[in-house]
Structure 1
Amino acid sequence: MRQVGTQDYPGERPWWFDAVCYQIDVGAFADADGDGVGDLDGICSRLGYLELLGVDVIVLAGIAGSDPASPSLARLLTEAHDNGLRVLMAMDVDPARADPGPVLRPWLDQGVDGFHLAPRNDPADAVASVVAEYPDRIVIGSGTGSWQLLFGLDLAVAGFSAEPVRKAITTVLDSAGPRPAWAMASRDSTRIRDHAALTPVRAMALVQLALPGAVCLRHGEELGLPGTERIRMPWEGLMRPFGFSTARADWSSIPHDWVHFTVEAQLEDEESTLSLYRHALEMRASHPAFTGDEVEWFGAPEDCFAFRRVGSSLICALNTSAEPVPLPPGEVLLSSRPLVEGELPPGNAAWLV
């Protein structure tokens, strides 16, 4: 199976090739000035968390109408770049109605590393042409276009059944086009927050992170929170809004049981969804098995699959059946839930070498 998007980069791979992108809905992430709305300074105050999580790229959503020359953006770009983080802007630019240059160039001139365009069907090549004027900048797009990365919700649409997930992966990797950027959470998706329902969420996270290509996460996804557009990030404490803001406001829209899903609570729990993401992202970035731009499939029990990254020893196994199944031979690096007598439980995934 040929991996797409590799043919133009036979030598050293560019920074975005396998990047972990973390989209932040700015108004819902962290409120630094106490007005009840998240802001860029709030993101600056949480850069340590993003480094701890292990992401490579911050995608800023919800500030396209702001001033590109604002001091807060300049500070964020400087501090992010100093800490090895790239910064993209999420934008909805329609080149069919106007020249995108006047919209995009002020952001690029300030040092933004590129753009994540909203899903669209039209080929927005004019955007790519503007970005190409600036060295080392990129576009994450969808549909057709001259993008560096192709955003796709194929895994999310496939649901949690081995054969549809396998078909989604095969379709993307067999297609000619930009390198994939795999995503699971969209603006309209939901995540159920109880322990049992998080099991397939955790399993699909390992499938997503095992595939060749970049990855697109949304803030809160690593906590197992719903993937909807305005999820206020629960940071710490026992009372709503859980460290998101110091404003005295009606925070009843934040579920009170999120006290168990705060960053603080999950960092202290080695079995939490956040801990799983942290371990997975660290392994993805540092373990030598995470190489190779093709996958090959093994035989597997019904409602299960296993694939290997060609050119490496990494195997990803998924069990969507109702029974535990034996794992392929190898050393287990990570599993989405603990194994049961050496077998992969229902609704789980594992990495092996």
Structure 2
Amino acid sequence: MSRFPREGTTPHSPRQPQDAPWWRDAVVYEVYVRSFTDSDGDGEGDLQGIRSRLGRLRDLGVDALWLTPFYRSPLADGGYDVADYRDVDPRFGSLNDFDALVAAVHEHGLRLIVDIVPNHTSDQHRWFQEALAAEPGSPARERYIFRSGRESSSSERSAEEEPPTDWPSAFGGSAWKQLPDGEWFLHLYAPEQPDLNWRNPEVRSEFEDILRFWLDRGVDGFRIDVAAGLFKDPEFRDLGDRSRHVVDGPIYSRPEVHEVYRDWRRIIDSYEGERMAIGEVWTDSPEDLALYLRPDELHQAFQFDLQLAKWSASAFRKVITDTLAAIEPTGSAPTWVLSSHDSVRHVTRYEQPAGPPGIGTPPGIGGPSGIGGSPGIGLTRARAALLLLLALPGSAYLYQGEELGLPEVTDIPEAALQDPIWERSGHTKRGRDGCRVPLPWSGKNEPFGFSPGDARPWLPMPEAWRSLTAEAQDEDPASTLSFYKEALAARRKLLPDLPDTLEWLELGDDVVAFRRGPLTCVLNCGNAPVRLPDVRLSDVPPPDVRLPGERRLLLGSAPVEGDLLPANASAWLLG
């Protein structure tokens, strides 16, 4: 059990239903630690900075925080290259700072989820350094995936010059790197992130101990990075003509992974306080996704389909329908997300109708928001999408800064780019730095309250963000920040009366509309106004009185004239 007792909740604590665990309908706020708040003036966010803003997150109306990796790391991939899983990187603080943060999170009535990265370590991890110093075939190398090369198809090249397989790195190029002694090691991501060998019992035992280490310190859950990728095809078959983006098969979703998560579930369930695990799971079918959500495996799967969907009513309807159908047999709850640290911010994605670019690709979007200026239609659509997100059954994940309406920053100077995708792509893909620019809190100039004084942040911040700071939006009832607070407060109040099922309404090809108990959600993705169904146009009788067959407007992402919902807008109706 936890060595760090939980404090009682505050008067502002989130709703905690008696008949369901907290995570089923939680609103989780992703904190990209390096870019949230810098407390010590080194230009990088840290744990004390997060602690200083907890009151703001509580007042925003979220239920939990998800922290990206804060462990010791060379930051070759933003902390997802972990050198020591049981310590805090000095850039971000210390274990004492972490313990203080856990206590403060619970004092504010919030929960804390931390990232765990089991697919790979940093090349600076003690284990990998031992592997490099060891001979081929040694026990130290058995912790990772080392293979001999294969004969080259060209007679002019030696047999050891060809990688063991044709597997690609997600960041570009081959997933194999050769050592001076001739052996190759696998890295599905950057070369600084060697993949672990999960067929080695030592690896499995090590991560079970790592889970206990952080559970003992009071964390409420884990977000599992690359959750489907731990085991690779033992025969190391080539992908061949199959898509290099294949999910199931040689590289991902091997059946062996489920035994690991059954073991992890037993550990997590042995702790009090409704601890949980959510996996970053990409699968090729709903049936395979459901395997991860069996009662003795993961509690939830982090799903990306809504984040990947273009601005289209038919695309949104298909995502929602398919997701609910996939999750329903498992008894779990779906998760919904519009932006994260790995994708172009949806304010910018929604500037174009063609849909989002893929991971690490240039956004290719013109207009003011494409260069970090005043958002246009993208912000209008983003606000509308929020009401869709929050009306759906399950949990919602928000990415830091979306409550401010922050766009993607696409004009970061090339010399400042740090994402490994930039180098691995031969400077053809700018990577994910544009969604990781530090948050603007206050003031008129960089660092906009992110760092004390005039310290320079680790990524440059656009001058145009002076109008998007939290301070600038705090007292503006029409701001995006105020809209998020209003929507989250309304959702929390409605939750006890909302069932987990939807009743679809047909209001036209460009409209997504459904009832969920007393709540009706209407999203207009078209370019012309649409008529809201059965809307009461008067404030009389009082709002708490419901008339049969009539609904009152509860909340709109844009001003509603009479019963007409504008283009690219959404509304909640009650009744």
- 1:233 is displaced (CA, Å) by 1.0
| 2:276 paired with 1:138 | yes
Maintained 8 Å contact 2:29/2:397: yes
Q: Which residue in 1 is equivalent to 2:525?
A: 320
SS at match of 1:197: helix
Within-5 A mapping of 1:261-280? 261-280=468-487
- TM-score, normalization: structure 2? 0.57
Any stretches of 5+ residues in structure 2 without a counterpart? 1-16, 73-85, 89-93, 120-195, 229-252, 282-288, 349-368, 370-374, 409-431, 535-550
Maintained 8 Å contact 1:220/1:231: no
| 2:467 paired with 1:260 | yes
Take 2:386 and 2:533, find their aligned partners in 1: how far apart are those partners? 19
Take 2:495 and 2:392, find their aligned partners in 1: how far apart are those partners? 14
| 2:74 paired with 1:67 | no
Q: Which residue in 1 is equivalent to 2:339?
A: 185
Q: Which residue in 2 is equivalent to 1:221?
A: 402
- 1:305 is displaced (CA, Å) by 2.2
- 1:266 is displaced (CA, Å) by 1.3
Q: CA RMSD in A?
A: 2.1
Query: Which residue identity does 1:105 align to in structure 2?
Result: R
Take 1:236 and 1:343, find their aligned partners in 2: how far apart are those partners? 37
Maintained 8 Å contact 1:149/1:214: no
Within-5 A mapping of 1:165-204? 165-175=316-326, 176-177=329-330, 178-186=332-340, 187-190=342-345, 191-192=347-348, 193=369, 194-204=375-385
SS at match of 2:222: strand
- TM-score, normalization: structure 1? 0.91
Query: Which residue identity does 1:44 align to in structure 2?
Result: R
| 2:107 paired with 1:82 | yes
Deviations 1:43-92 (A, max 9, x none): 11111100110111011112133626711111111111011111110122
Deviates more, 1:252-261 or 1:190-199: 190-199
Maintained 8 Å contact 2:62/2:488: yes
Identity percentage of aligned residues: 39
Maintained 8 Å contact 1:284/1:290: no
Query: Which residue identity does 2:39 align to in structure 1?
Result: A
Larger-Rg structure: 2
Q: Which runs of 4+ in 1 moved over 6 A?
A: none
Maintained 8 Å contact 1:210/1:290: no
Say which of 261, 283, 307 aligns to 2:514: 307
Any stretches of 5+ residues in structure 1 without a counterpart? 1-9
SS at match of 2:51: helix
Maintained 8 Å contact 1:299/1:306: yes
Take 1:60 and 1:38, find their aligned partners in 2: how far apart are those partners? 12
Query: Which residue identity does 2:561 align to in structure 1?
Result: V
- 1:142 is displaced (CA, Å) by 3.4
SS at match of 2:298: coil
Query: Which residue identity does 2:491 align to in structure 1?
Result: R
Deviates more, 1:251-260 or 1:88-97: 88-97
Take 2:401 and 2:495, find their aligned partners in 1: how far apart are those partners? 28
SS at match of 1:12: coil
Q: Which residue in 1 is equivalent to 2:78?
A: none
Take 1:82 and 1:197, find their aligned partners in 2: how far apart are those partners? 36
SS at match of 2:278: strand
Q: Which residue in 1 is equivalent to 2:559?
A: 338
Give the count of matched residue pairs. 342
SS at match of 2:439: coil
CA gap 1:288/1:105 in 2 versus in 1, 3 angstroms: closer
| 2:314 paired with 1:163 | yes
Q: Which residue in 2 is equivalent to 1:241?
A: 447
Q: Which residue in 1 is equivalent to 2:116?
A: 91
Q: Which residue in 1 is equivalent to 2:155?
A: none
Query: Which residue identity does 1:224 align to in structure 2?
Result: G
Take 1:166 and 1:319, find their aligned partners in 2: how far apart are those partners? 12
Take 2:20 and 2:40, find their aligned partners in 1: how far apart are those partners? 40
Query: Which residue identity does 1:171 align to in structure 2?
Result: D
Structure with bigger RCO (C-alpha 8 Å, 6+ apart): 1
- 1:15 is displaced (CA, Å) by 1.4
Q: Which residue in 2 is equivalent to 1:56?
A: 63
- 1:288 is displaced (CA, Å) by 5.6
Take 1:334 and 1:268, find their aligned partners in 2: how far apart are those partners? 19
Q: Which residue in 1 is equivalent to 2:210?
A: 103
